[in-house]
RNA sequence: GGAGUCGUAGUUCAGUCGGUUAGAACGCCGGCCUGUCAAGCCGGAGGCCGCGGGUUCAAGUCCCGUCGACUCCGCCA
């Protein structure tokens, strides 16, 4: 009987249990560890399901033992044998009640000594693990992340298909877009000097599916943005992309809530309550200093601008007089040392704050604080009361422009919560953030930019404001947020060619320019476009949050480093002169 | 583009005030061992101290630059 041809795998190693005792099994896998006692010896066979202990006993099979004797770390082998109960059980192993006594074995392939230990609790530098990603991927945590990812793909497809969505593909080689993220460009060989771009998202294509009448579209698609990386951002990432016709935002919310409910139930076995909390952008920024608020803890931002406007503390008074804000976060129980506050001051400074004022209240609301001398006893009591401070509570203040106050205190809030252990690791705090401004003013370029994208519909009642006060226009846009991460975002789109043209005008795009860049869209809007809208969810972030991780590299099989390189393939890399010639490119300085 | 942290054996780290031959654990190689669980015991090999300059009688250690990894700011419609 030959392995592979006659002897097929009967089980995965990690699935063996007491119920299999007495059965003959065939296992294939890698040598995880080996414990040799001179006579009988043990080899842990590892496959994608886990480990099983193989016992090689020369008195059972000398041939099998001879094969087993050659096994070293990561050698690939197969074994046939009987499952037996162990003499001494291992409660730390899922298969710890049983072992397989080898009767026949085959060495398929030896292995070089791996550059790092292939173990679950590895502490090796990530760059080395990325260089040998195929070894890192043998580890259970990564295998589980990728298998979870596969499962989510299937749940999403089933759910959306069951709800009448149709899955389509859209081009990867497409047209460069003037707004938004930096494009990855692909030179054209056939058209010298011209370029395709990789899609930042299939935005316009999915809208055109609506124009074409397909009504409900989805795609699990790769998107590309040539911007700097973060722990939750890769240059190529995967979106669950959705678009629907004849809808209002609530329809999108319902579909997404049902989708996420199903995913968390089937993957984590938890019930998440729906509908999710809805919160305006203004409220999110005001209370949490973020458009993606982490609602797993309190520490809300509180405005004291009116109470300090006429105080003797000129930093606060002048900030308010200049149109700024003074806001505070209160840490119940306080106890932050001077050294801790210095560290937190560094945190807020990275967001542009000039400093961090602080005060500890007593039972009467009187302060112990370097700035206490600037406030009367009445002022101190009034501020303590406004902030709801009990004895010993510590307030941390930032005074600045609203944007700086929000960013600084928002980050401070997050840092404090983490350091003080205020976050329940099992909590899942979903919410929708709505009513985003349509436009933000760019000081440097002295023009309006679309906060979401230029195809986002303003609220109908705000359309006239586009002419008079663009900063006040609210968009029919929405983000779904989980634990402080933006899980996805979308909007109701413009389906009126006149409004779309108005949008391009406002963004400073001439008629010729808009026609050249988006002529096909303007054409489409003229040919019977239904009201429509949609959303895209970040698949990588979703998986990361599902497994309780904090870095999307851990849920991507072959991720890139923060400098957008692949340590394994060494991409990007130089190309030959001939390849450059074919696409009509001359390198600078050559 | 900017800030911070890190870079010493295959891996994870230590290395004092700049001073003799750069250490430990794990891994690796050899030997012993019949019930281990990352087995154990004995022995051995293994170093471009990221790279380049500088200061010094002397640099893993101090200074400057550079490369790479990570985290963050800017950026990410």
- Short-list A370, A375, A369, CA closest to A393: A369
Beta bridge partners of A242: A218, A535
pLDDT of residue A590 exceeding 70, the answer is no
Q: For A533 and B46, how far is CA from C1' in angstroms?
A: 63
Q: What is the mean pLDDT of residues A574-587?
A: 94
What is d(CA A44, CA A31) in angstroms, rounded to the nearest whole number?
6
The confidence score (pLDDT) of residue A513 equals 86
Residue A360: band (very low, low, confident or very high) from pLDDT cuts 50, 70, 90: very high
CB A183 within 8 A of CB A198: yes
pLDDT at A443: 78
| Gap from A4 CA to B61 C1', Å | 58
| pLDDT for A480 | 98
Helix, coil or strand: residue A522: helix
Compute the average pLDDT of residues A57-82.
Answer: 94
Give the Cα separation of A84 and A111 in Å (integer).
Answer: 29
- Nearest nucleotide, CA A233 to C1': B76
Q: Average pLDDT, stretch A32-50? A: 94
Question: Is the per-residue pLDDT at A238 higher than 70?
Answer: yes
Angstrom distance, A142 CA to B36 C1': 28
Residue with tokens 């292995």: A111
Inform me whether the pLDDT recorded for A414 exceeds 80.
yes
End-to-end CA distance of chain A: 64
CA dihedral A260, A263, A265, A270 (to 10 degrees): -60
Confidence of residue A158 (pLDDT cuts 50, 70, 90): very high
Q: Give chain A residues 545-564 with Cβ within 7 A of strand B.
A: 551, 553, 561-563
Cβ A454 to strand B below 7 Å: yes
Query: Is a pLDDT exceeding 80 seen at residue A179?
Result: no
Nucleotides of B under 7 A from a protein CB: 1-2, 10-13, 26-29, 32-40, 68-77
Nucleotide nearest to A60 (CA to C1'): B34
> Which nucleotide is closest to the Cα of A123 by its C1'?
B12
Contact A276, A431 (CB under 8 A): yes
Residue with CA nearest B26 C1'? A117
- Is residue A95 within 8 Å of residue A16, measured between CB atoms? yes
Mean pLDDT of A252-281: 97
For residue A56, what pLDDT is reported? 96
**Nearest nt (C1') from A489 Cα:** B77
Rounded Cα distance, A214 and A244, in Å: 9
The reply to whether the CB atom of residue A120 sits less than 7 A from any atom in nucleic acid chain B is no
Q: If we measure between CA atoms, which residue out of A456, A364, A352 comes closest to residue A408?
A: A352
* Mean pLDDT, rounded, for A532-536: 97
Cα A226–Cα A475–Cα A411 angle in degrees, nearest 5: 60
Domain ranges of chain A: 2-109, 143-279+431-555, 297-423
d(CA A298, CA A221) in angstroms, rounded, equals: 36
Fold of A2-109: OB fold (Dihydrolipoamide Acetyltransferase, E2P) (2.40.50)
- Give me the CA A566–C1' B6 separation in Å, rounded: 20
- Judge whether residue A118 has pLDDT over 70: yes
Measured CA to C1', the nucleotide nearest A116 is: B11
Say if residues A358 and A336 touch (Cβ distance below 8 Å): yes
Give percent above pLDDT 70 in chain A: 100
pLDDT digits (tens, 9 = 90+) for A9-26: 999 999 999 999 999 999
- A 261-320, residues with C-beta < 7 Å of strand B: none
Q: What are phi and psi of A105, to 5 degrees?
A: -145, 155
The C-alpha atoms of residue A101 and residue A56 are separated, in whole angstroms, by 6
The answer to whether the C-beta of A110 is closer than 7 A to strand B is: no
Per the structure, the residues numbered 342 to 401 in protein chain A that have their CB within 7 angstroms of any atom of strand B are: 350-351
Dump the DSSP string for A83-128. EEE-SS--TTSTTTTEEEEEEEEEEEE--PPPSS---TT----HHH
A486 nearest nt, CA–C1': B76
| Spacing of A436 CA from B74 C1' in Å | 22
Query: What's residue A588's pLDDT?
Result: 80
Note the pLDDT tens digit of each residue in A84-100. Answer: 999 999 999 999 999 99
Instruction: Give CA–CA dist A559/A237, Å, rounded.
Output: 9
Report residue A52 as tokens. 């099983």
Running DSSP on this structure, what letter comes out for residue A330?
E
Q: Are A452 and A458 in contact (CB under 8 A)?
A: no
- Phi, psi at A485, each rounded to 5°: -110, 140
Pick out residues 502-531 of chain A having their CB under 7 A from any atom of nucleic acid strand B: none
pTM of the model: 0.95
Measured distance CA(A148)–CA(A185) in Å, rounded: 32
For every residue of A187-224, DSSP letters joined together read E-SSSTT-EEE--S--HHHHHHHHHTT--EEEEEEEEE
A569 touches strand B (CB under 7 A): no
Q: Which residues pair with A216 in a beta bridge?
A: A244
Taking the C1' atom of B32, which residue's CA lies nearest? A38
Q: Which nt is closest to the CA of A72, judged by C1'?
A: B28
Distances (CA, A) of A212 to A112, A218, A251, A523, A532: 56, 14, 20, 13, 12
Which helix (H) or strand (E) covers residue A166, if one does?
Answer: strand A166-167
CA of A126 to C1' of B53 (A): 30
Least confident of A78-87, A113-122, A451-460, A537-546: A113-122
The answer on pLDDT for A180 being more than 90 is no
| Nearest nucleotide (CA of A177 to C1') | B77
Residue in A488, A489, A466 with CA at minimum distance from that of residue A476: A489
What residues contact residue A395 under an 8 Å CB cut-off, 6+ apart? A328, A329, A330, A331, A358, A359, A360, A361, A383, A384, A387, A389
Does A227 contact strand B, using a CB cutoff of 7 Å?
yes
Asked whether A103 and A60 are in contact (CB, 8 A), the reply is: yes
CB proximity A116–strand B (7 Å threshold) = yes
CATH architecture of the domain formed by A297-423: 2-Layer Sandwich (3.30)
Phi (first) and psi of residue A57, to 5 degrees: -130, 115
Give yes or no for residue A589 having a pLDDT over 80.
no
ipTM attached to this prediction: 0.93
Residue A374 DSSP class: G
Residue A471 and residue A440: Cα distance in Å, rounded? 7
3-state helix/strand/coil string of A231-296 = CCECCEEEEEEEEEECCCHHHHHHHHHHHHHHHHHHHHCCCCCCCCEEEEHHHHHHHHCCCCCCCC
Over the stretch A200-222, which tens digit does the pLDDT of each residue have?
999 999 999 999 999 999 999 99
Non-local CB neighbours of A416 within 8 Å, separated by 6+ positions: A299, A329, A331, A344, A422
Mean pLDDT of chain A: 94
CA of A166 to C1' of B75 (A): 35
Is A121's pLDDT higher than 90?
Answer: no
Residue A38, pLDDT score: 87
Contact in structure between A544 and A144 (CB atoms under 8 Å): no
Fold of A143-279+431-555: BirA Bifunctional Protein; domain 2 (3.30.930)
Report d(CA A136, CA A120) in Å as an integer: 10
Strands A41-47 and A430-434: unpaired
Highest-confidence range of A177-191, A431-445, A530-544, by mean pLDDT? A530-544
- Å between A36 CA and B40 C1'? 10
Residues near A123 by beta carbon (within 8 Å), at least 6 away in sequence: none
Is there contact between A573 and strand B, defined as CB under 7 Å from any strand atom? no
Cβ neighbours of residue A429 closer than 8 Å, sequence gap 6 or more: A294, A295, A296, A482, A483
Strand B proximal to A579 Cβ, under 7 A: no
- A203 CB neighbours strand B below 7 A: yes
Highest mean pLDDT among A33-47, A149-163, A431-445: A149-163
Residue with tokens 């099994």: A25
Residues A465 and A431: beta-carbon distance below 8 Å: no
**Rounded Cα gap, residues A219 and A207, in angstroms:** 13
């Amino acid at each position: 009987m030959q392995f592979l041809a006659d002897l097929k795998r009967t089980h995965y190693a990690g699935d063996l249990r007491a119920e299999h005792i007495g059965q003959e099994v065939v296992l294939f896998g890698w040598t995880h560890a080996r414990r040799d006692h001179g006579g009988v010896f043990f080899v842990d066979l590892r496959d994608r399901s886990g480990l099983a202990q193989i016992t090689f006993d020369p008195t059972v099979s000398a041939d099998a033992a001879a094969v087993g004797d050659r096994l070293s770390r990561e050698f690939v082998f197969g074994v046939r044998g009987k499952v037996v109960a162990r003499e001494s059980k291992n409660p730390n192993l899922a298969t710890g009640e049983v072992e397989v006594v080898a009767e026949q074995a085959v060495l398929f392939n030896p292995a070089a000594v791996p550059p790092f230990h292939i173990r679950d609790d590895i502490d090796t530098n990530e760059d080395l693990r990325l260089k040998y990603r195929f070894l890192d991927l043998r580890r259970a945590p990564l295998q589980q992340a990728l298998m979870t990812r596969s499962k989510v793909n299937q749940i999403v497809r089933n759910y959306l298909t069951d709800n009448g969505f149709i899955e389509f593909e859209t081009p990867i080689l497409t047209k460069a877009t003037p707004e938004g993220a930096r494009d990855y460009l692909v030179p054209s060989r056939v058209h010298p000097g011209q370029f395709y771009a990789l899609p930042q998202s299939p935005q316009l294509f999915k809208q055109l599916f609506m124009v074409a009448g397909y009504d409900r579209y989805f795609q699990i698609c790769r998107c590309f943005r040539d911007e700097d990386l973060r722990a939750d951002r890769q240059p190529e990432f995967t979106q669950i992309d959705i678009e629907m016709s004849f809808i209002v935002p609530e329809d999108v919310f319902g579909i997404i809530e049902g989708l996420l409910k199903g995913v968390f139930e089937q993957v984590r076995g938890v019930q998440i309550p729906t509908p999710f909390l809805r919160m305006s952008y203004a409220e999110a920024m005001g209370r949490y200093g973020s458009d993606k608020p982490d609602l797993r803890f309190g520490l809300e931002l509180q405005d004291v601008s009116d109470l300090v406007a006429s105080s003797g503390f000129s930093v606060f008074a002048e900030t308010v007089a200049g149109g700024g804000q003074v806001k505070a976060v209160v840490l119940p129980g306080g106890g932050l040392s001077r050294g801790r506050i210095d560290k937190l001051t560094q945190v807020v400074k990275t967001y542009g704050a000039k400093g961090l004022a602080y005060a500890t209240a007593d039972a009467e609301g009187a302060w112990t604080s370097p700035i206490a001398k600037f406030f009367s006893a009445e002022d101190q009591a009034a501020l303590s009361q406004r902030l709801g401070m009990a004895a010993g509570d510590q307030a941390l203040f930032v005074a600045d422009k609203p944007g700086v106050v929000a960013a600084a205190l928002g980050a401070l809030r997050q840092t404090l919560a983490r350091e003080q252990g205020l976050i329940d690791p099992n909590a899942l705090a979903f919410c929708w953030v709505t009513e985003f401004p349509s436009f933000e003013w760019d000081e440097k370029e002295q023009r309006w930019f679309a906060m979401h994208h230029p195809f986002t519909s303003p609220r109908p009642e705000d359309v006239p404001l586009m002419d008079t006060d663009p900063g006040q226009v609210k968009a029919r846009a929405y983000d779904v947020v989980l634990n402080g991460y933006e899980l996805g975002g979308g909007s109701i789109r413009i389906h009126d060619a006149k409004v779309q043209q108005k949008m391009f005008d406002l963004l400073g795009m001439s008629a010729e320019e808009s026609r050249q860049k988006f002529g096909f869209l303007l054409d489409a809007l003229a040919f019977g476009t239904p009201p429509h809208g949609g959303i895209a969810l970040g698949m990588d972030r979703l998986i990361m949050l599902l497994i309780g991780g904090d870095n999307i590299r851990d849920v991507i099989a072959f991720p890139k480093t923060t400098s957008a390189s692949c340590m394994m393939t060494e991409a990007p890399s130089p190309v030959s002169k001939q390849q450059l010639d074919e696409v009509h490119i001359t390198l600078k300085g050559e």
